[in-house]
Amino acid sequence: MLRIASKPESIASVEHFIKSIIDKHKICEDKYACILISLTEAVNNAIIHGNNLDENKKVHLSYTYNVRKGSITFSVCDEGKGFDVESIPDPTCRENIEQCGGRGVLIIQNLADRIKYLDNGRRLDLSFHL
């Protein structure tokens, strides 16, 4: 498990955490980019939108590796009040193209094999088939 303060500089530790997991479980390098980009986006969203850059609040990152299913699932949890993923505007719609917001969620949805929002949006589980 990795616990980080809710400040943008903390993102660097996420890369080291992921790399150690990839090496430990000998996960194909092809999956590394998808996992890294997805988790970086998820942690960034937790820091900025979930915890509102409050350095007293932490972001928790953990994982489970399932050899039988050939998958790995990461959980990203923040200490914020949560959100409704359905309320995020679609960044690909013409009226939202120039607006900020929603792109990180779209990236995650396209790179992870399965995502699940839990605890009123405070927790995001991202699964990847290996």
Structural domains in the chain (count) = 1
Owning domain of residue 103: 2-129
Single-letter residue type at 37: I
Rounded to an integer, what distance in angstroms lies between the CA atom of residue 77 and that of residue 23? Answer: 24
Residue 35 sits in a domain of what CATH number?
3.30.565.10
Task: Reduce the DSSP state of residue 47 to 3 states and report it.
Answer: helix
Provide the 8-state DSSP code for 45. Answer: H
pLDDT tens for the chain, 130 residues long, are: 999 999 999 999 999 999 999 999 999 888 999 999 999 999 999 999 999 999 999 999 999 999 999 999 999 999 999 988 887 767 666 775 666 666 788 899 999 999 999 999 999 999 999 9
Q: Quote the pTM value.
A: 0.90
Side-by-side strand order, sheet with 114-118: 2-5, 58-66, 71-77, 123-129, 114-118
Closest CA relative to residue 88, chosen from 111, 117, 62: 117
